[in-house]
Chains A and B, each alone.
Chain A
Amino acid sequence: MAPSGGHAPYAGTRTPRVEDLRLLTGTGTYVDDVVRPGMLHAHFVRSPLPRARILGIDTSEALQLDGVHAVFVAEDLNPGVHEQWYTLDGRDAPDTPRPPLAEGEVRFAGDPVAMVVAVDRYVAEDAAELVLVDYEPLPPVVDYAAALGSLESVHAAYPDNLAGQLGGRPMSDLDPVFANAPHVVSQTIHQQAHGPVPMETRGIVAEWTAAGGEMAIWAATQSPHEVRAFCARLLGIDEHRVRVVMRDTGGGFGQKVLPQREDMCVLLAATKLPAALKWIEDRQEHLLAAGQARHEHGEARMAFDGDGRILAATLDHVQDAGAYPTPSPVQSGIAVGMLFPGPYRIPEGTFSSRFVFSNTSGRVAYRGPWQYESMAREVLLDTAARQLGLDPVELRRRNMLSADDLPTANCNGMPYDHMSPRETFEQALTMLDYDAFRKEQARARETGRYLGVGTCTYVEPTAGATPFHATEGATIRIEPSGKVNVYVAGGSCGNSLETTVVQLTADALGVAVEDVSTVQGDTAVTPYGAGTGGSRSGSMTAGAIAKTAGVLRERILAIAAHRLEVPVEDVEFNRGRATAKGGDAVLTLAEIADLAYYQVHALPPGASAGLEASGRYHTPHLMIWANATHVCTCEVDLVTGEVTLLRYIVSEDCGPMINPSVVEGQIFGGTVQGIGGALYEHLAYDDEGNPVATTFMDYLLPTATEVPVIEVGHVETPSPGPGGYKGVGEGGAIGSAPAVVNAVADALAPLGVRVDRLPLTPARIVQLVEQAQGVTAR
Chain B
Amino acid sequence: MKPAAFTYHAPTSVGEAVGLLAEHGDEAKALAGGQSLVPMLALRLAAFGHLVDLRLVDALQGIERREDGSVRIGAGTTQATVQRSEEIRAAVPLLARATPLIGHFQIRSRGTVGGSLAHADAAAEYPAVALTLDADLEAESPRGRRTIPAADFFTGVWSTALAEDELLTGVNFPVWGGRCGFAVEEFARRSGDFAIAGATVALRVTADGRLDRCAIGLFGLGPTATRALATETGLLGTDPTDAVPDDLGRAATENLASVPSDLHGSARYRTRVGAAMVARAWRRAVQEALHG
Residues of A within 8 A of B (CB): 121-122, 125-126, 129, 282-285, 639-642, 680, 682, 684, 692-693, 695, 697-698, 700, 702-703, 705-706, 761-763, 766-767, 777-778
Contact = CB atoms under 8 A, between A and B. Distances in A.
A268 to B, nearest CB: 24
B243 interface: no
B191 interface: yes
B291 interface: no
B191 A125 contact: no
The list of the 8 closest CB pairs from A to B, nearest first, reads A282-B1, A705-B191, A763-B265, A763-B269, A122-B2, A639-B276, A125-B2, A640-B187
B143 interface: no
Contacts of B190: 680, 700, 702-703, 705-706
A126 B4 contact: yes
Contacts of A778: 268
Contacts of A641: 269
B59 to A, nearest CB: 33
B2 A642 contact: no
Given A640-B187, A682-B263, A700 B276 contact: no
Contacts of B272: 639, 766
B187 A125 contact: no
B5 interface: yes
B266 interface: yes
Given A682-B263, A684-B263, A700 B189 contact: yes
Given A122-B5, A285-B1, 7 more contacts: A122-B3, A641-B269, A680-B189, A706-B191, A762-B189, A762-B196, A767-B269
B191 A703 contact: yes
Interface in B1-22: 1-5
B266 A763 contact: yes
Contact of A640 (B3, B39, B44, B273): B273
B157 interface: no
22 contacts: A122-B3, A126-B5, A282-B1, A285-B1, A639-B272, A639-B273, A640-B187, A640-B273, A640-B276, A642-B187, A693-B263, A695-B39, A697-B193, A698-B263, A703-B191, A703-B192, A706-B191, A762-B196, A763-B265, A767-B269, A777-B268, A778-B268
A766 B269 CA distance: 8
Interface in B177-196: 187, 189-194, 196
A702 B189 CA distance: 10
A697 B104 CA distance: 13
Interface in B244-292: 262-266, 268-269, 272-273, 276
Nearest to B268: A778
B43 interface: yes
A708 to B, nearest CB: 13
B279 to A, nearest CB: 9
B169 to A, nearest CB: 29
Contacts of B2: 121-122, 125
B34 to A, nearest CB: 16
A641 B265 CA distance: 11
Contacts of A705: 190-192
Contacts, number: 69
A217 to B, nearest CB: 23
Most A CB contacts (10 A, CB to CB) among B2, B39, B194, B196 go to: B2
Contacts of A703: 190-192
A330 to B, nearest CB: 31
Interface string B134-174: 00000000000000000000000000000000000000000
A676 B266 CA distance: 21
A282 B273 CA distance: 34
A697 B190 CA distance: 10
A692 B189 contact: no
Nearest to A679: B189
B263 A692 contact: yes
A244 B44 CA distance: 34
Given A283-B1, A642-B187, A125 B44 contact: yes
B189 A761 contact: yes
A286 to B, nearest CB: 10
B1 A700 contact: no
A757 to B, nearest CB: 14
A697 B264 CA distance: 11
A705 B268 CA distance: 27
Nearest to B273: A640
B44 A762 contact: no
A700 B265 CA distance: 14
A211 B263 CA distance: 53
A762 B264 CA distance: 8
Contacts of A698: 262-264
Contacts of B187: 640, 642, 762
Contacts of B276: 639-640
Contacts of A777: 268
Contacts of A640: 187, 196, 273, 276
Contacts of B194: 697
Contacts of A766: 269, 272
Contact of B1 (A129, A284, A763): A284
Most A CB contacts (10 A, CB to CB) among B4, B5, B190, B269 go to: B269
B5 A763 contact: no
A761 B4 contact: no
B269 to A, nearest CB: 4
Contacts of B192: 703, 705
Contacts of B196: 640, 762
Contact of B262 (A121, A639, A692, A702): A692
A155 B80 CA distance: 53
Contacts of A693: 263
B23 to A, nearest CB: 24
Nearest to A695: B43
Contacts of B44: 125, 129
A762 B196 CA distance: 10
A271 B202 CA distance: 67
A361 to B, nearest CB: 16
Contacts of A642: 187
Contacts of A700: 189-190, 193
A680 B188 CA distance: 12
Contacts of A283: 1
A700 B194 CA distance: 12
A639 B262 CA distance: 19
Nearest to A692: B263
Most A CB contacts (10 A, CB to CB) among B1, B192, B273 go to: B1
B188 to A, nearest CB: 10
Contacts of B4: 125-126
A282 to B, nearest CB: 4
Contacts of A285: 1
A612 B5 CA distance: 55
A402 B96 CA distance: 56
B185 to A, nearest CB: 10
Contacts of B263: 682, 684, 692-693, 698
Interface in B40-77: 43-44
Contacts of B268: 777-778
